[in-house]
Amino acid sequence: MEISPNATKFYIDGQWVESSTGDTLDVINPATEEPIATIALGGQADVDAAVAAAQRAFESWSQTSIDERTAILNKVTELIGARADDLANAISAEMGAPLGLAKAAQAASGLAHFATTAAVLPSFEFEEQLGNSLLVKEPIGVVGMITPWNWPINQISCKVAPALAAGCTMVLKPSEVAPLNAIIFAEILDEAGVPAGVFNLVNGDGAGVGSYMSGHPGVDMMSFTGSTRAGVEVAKNAAPTVKRVAQELGGKSANIILDDADFAEAIGRDAFGMCMNSGQSCNAATRMLVPKSRMDEAAAIAKAAMEAVVVGPPSQDGTTIGPVVSEVQWNKIQDLIQAGIDEGATLVAGGTGRPDGLDAGYYIRPTLFANVTNDMRIAREEIFGPVLVIIGYDDDDDAVRIANDTPYGLSGYVSGSPERAMAIARRIRTGNMHVNGAGPDFQAPFGGYKQSGNGREWGSLGLEEFLETKAIMGAPAS
């Protein structure tokens, strides 16, 4: 993979500039455990420069027309398509996604968010007459953005696209674990003609950049995607300046298989699908709930599906899942698999250690536990790996109770007869529900209840997240 010459620079005020700290960090390929690039790590002076550039740019960008912003969004969409292979290759190398997934889903999702926002913007209602008052939705200002490594371009794009559409300016700190795709993304925005200072990129870690940006008085809003633990810290840092904080955090999504579902289809589909991206998706259906009387049947179907998952190098034809992103994640997943064994869950497939024949790289054996109870660690903690647990329930009410017995509420799944499945979906306290295998919808809002966060991304509600509402009393009706 060709590394951008801008890898050791930041994009601030329309220019590629050197870091103020001189500190660097190696980017590790999780498939080989070897460094593939070096990036610069920023500090407070870099954040100050980026925020100042965004503040200056806000004066003019916030006043641009909808047509001007739509044109920029369309140009970025076009250029993401043109550089899709570059993005996919970077994502595959730095976080381990198989190349097919990196192209078809990872890079493609970035394009989809820009295309969706470009379609939403022209008809979005920025003004509404209410009695003798005019309600005006205006850009919130300078937005600080912190994004994770697991679906990097997806999570960058679903923040940057609506922020641009709203008329905001921004400073992005992507994950230092998978930063190379963000550098390509900055090159795309520069080529698309995004005015200087509207979008700024500063690489760094949470301590050096993220914490300082979260508390910066020049930042009007923080948009964060990552772990619940880190989200709490962002909110704490933001609190003294009373800035808006939008968070998309962790998940432990329940997948209810009703007794009238097609077990072979639903369980086979969902056990295999849960492993996608090596299980590193915050909305992964990691808790499968089945009738207690059919536990053995469900476990056998899930076992066959998970044993069909091919673990291997991301560049290898036929690979279903690659490695997890880092040694830290690998060790965490191993600890939780062992915890499941120690707590008495039935290990049906997989287990600790690397898959046979893969002696280097952070590879995980797709692992299935049956006869799990909802008080076990493997049922309560976000594992973030290809680990599925099956929990038995007595009846529909018991399934709903178990599904809702979690601090999280990001996503959920239910399969069964349509009317009954919809009735269950309405009872689950979560931001998204997928009925009978329905996939994601880029126009629908994405976000969570409880400790899975607050605010919504994607589509028109994602745009609204970056707006303030002003009431002008006494405004004449137009």
Provide the pLDDT for residue 2: 83
Q: How confident is the model at residue 476 (pLDDT cuts 50, 70, 90)?
A: confident
Mean pLDDT of 156-167: 98
**Distance, CA of 169 to CA of 68 (rounded, Å):** 15
Provide the pLDDT for residue 477: 74
Q: Give the active site residue among 187, 248, 457, 465.
A: 248
Q: How confident is the model at residue 6 (pLDDT cuts 50, 70, 90)?
A: very high
- Name the maximum alpha-carbon separation found in the chain: 74
* Strands 453-454 and 244-248, bridge-based pairing: antiparallel
Note the pLDDT tens digit of each residue in 69-109.
999 999 999 999 999 999 999 999 999 999 999 999 999 99
Provide the pLDDT for residue 49: 98
In three state form, how does the secondary structure of the chain look? CCCCCCCCCEEECCEEECCCCCEEEEEEECCCCEEEEEEEECCHHHHHHHHHHHHHHHHHHCCCCHHHHHHHHHHHHHHHHHCHHHHHHHHHHHHCCCHHHHHHHHHHHHHHHHHHHHHHHHHCCCEEEECCEEEEEEECCEEEEECCCCCHHHHHHHHHHHHHHHCCEEEEECCCCCCHHHHHHHHHHHHCCCCCCCEEECCCCHHHHHHHHHHCCCCCEEEEECCHHHHHHHHHHHHHHCCEEEEECCCCCEEEECCCCCHHHHHHHHHHHHCHHHHCCCCCCCEEEEEHHHHHHHHHHHHHHHHCCCECCCCCCCCCECCCCCHHHHHHHHHHHHHHHHCCCEEEECCCCCCCCCCCCCCCCCEEEEEECCCCHHHHCCCCCCEEEEEEECCHHHHHHHHHCCCCCCCEEEECCHHHHHHHHHHCCCCCCEECCCCCCCCCCECCCHHHEECCECHHHHHHCCEEEEEEECCCCC
Complete edge-to-edge strand list for the sheet that includes strand 133-139: 127-130, 133-139, 467-473
Indicate the average pLDDT of the chain. Answer: 97
Angle between helices 152-166 and 84-95 (to 10 degrees): 130
Note the pLDDT tens digit of each residue in 192-229.
999 999 999 999 999 999 999 999 999 999 999 999 99
Mean pLDDT of 319-324: 98
Q: Spell out the domain ranges in the chain.
A: 10-249+452-473, 254-443
Note the pLDDT tens digit of each residue in 388-422.
999 999 999 999 999 999 999 999 999 999 999 99
Q: How confident is the model at residue 475 (pLDDT cuts 50, 70, 90)?
A: confident
Judged against a pLDDT cut of 90, whether residue 478 lies above it is answered with no
Judged against a pLDDT cut of 80, whether residue 267 lies above it is answered with yes
Q: Does residue 33 carry a catalytic annotation?
A: no
Domain 10-249+452-473 CATH assignment equals 3.40.605.10: yes
Provide the pLDDT for residue 470: 97
Q: Give the active site residue among 158, 275, 282, 464.
A: 282
pTM beyond 0.75: yes
Provide the pLDDT for residue 64: 98
Q: Does residue 158 carry a catalytic annotation?
A: no
Note the pLDDT tens digit of each residue in 332-381.
999 999 999 999 999 999 999 999 999 999 999 999 999 999 999 999 99
Pair 333, 384: CB distance under 8 Å: yes
Provide the pLDDT for residue 148: 98
Q: What is the CATH number of domain 254-443?
A: 3.40.309.10
